[in-house]
Amino acid sequence: MRFTILLLVYAHSFMFANPSFSSVSKNTTINSESIAGEMKKFSFHTMPVTIKTLFVLSDEEIEIDLMKQEHGFILINFWATWCAPCVEEMPSLDKLQSLFNLDDLRIITIATGRNSQKKIMDFFSKNMILHLENFRDVRGASATKLGVFGLPSTILISPNGQEIARLVGPIDWFKPEVIEFFKSLSM
């Protein structure tokens, strides 16, 4: 119990003491007027952080560096099959991806920790998750490298490979203000 309290205090302090987890940067393509409703739960960085590598396992057990692939904006959602808020938000995340061309917005889910590929595929099948790419971070190395301290956690990466925003916790990804925000990025 004591460890859990210390972890929560540390995570809270980290988020609010770190200047990169504050308001919108003038150097990003984010229009501050497009941040409304659920999008206000995101922390937009004043100084985006470059992500050079992001290694994950594909469903064929092949290690892939996601940052080496051509991409527009990437929304990476760290989740787990045992995480109730993660499971609850996944269908709305899938609906959001269905509205976008992968060149404009690519939503990637990364199951971190002990999540078997079978459980992930069963979950995707049962919930008719058809539009999301799924990868695994079996030992949590990528989550740790990116400072992911809770699930679900979502990171927005720009086309030039910089983390520009992050969200800890679930949201409804299919709310009008969320859709409009991501549409504004692809303009």
CATH number of the domain where residue 92 is located? 3.40.30.10
CB 73 within 8 A of CB 102: no
**In angstroms, what CA-CA distances link 110 with 30, 98, 123, 126, 155?**
24, 18, 14, 18, 11
- Count structural domains, the chain: 1
Model pLDDT, residue 30: 72
Domain encompassing residue 174: 2-185
User: Mean pLDDT, 10 residues at a time, over the chain (187 residues)?
Assistant: 41 38 40 83 94 95 93 96 96 98 96 92 96 95 95 97 96 96 88
d(CA 79, CA 4): 19
Q: How far apart are CA 141 and CA 146, in angstroms?
A: 9
**Residue 44: its pLDDT value, please?**
94
Residue 56's Cβ-side half-sphere holds a number of Cα atoms within 13 Å equal to: 25
pLDDT of residue 6: 36
Using alpha carbons, select from 73, 35, 72 the residue that is nearest to residue 155: 73
Instruction: Answer yes or no: are the C-beta atoms of 39 and 176 closer than 8 Å.
Output: no
Q: Which residues pair with 133 in a beta bridge?
A: 108
Distance CA 161, CA 117 (A): 27
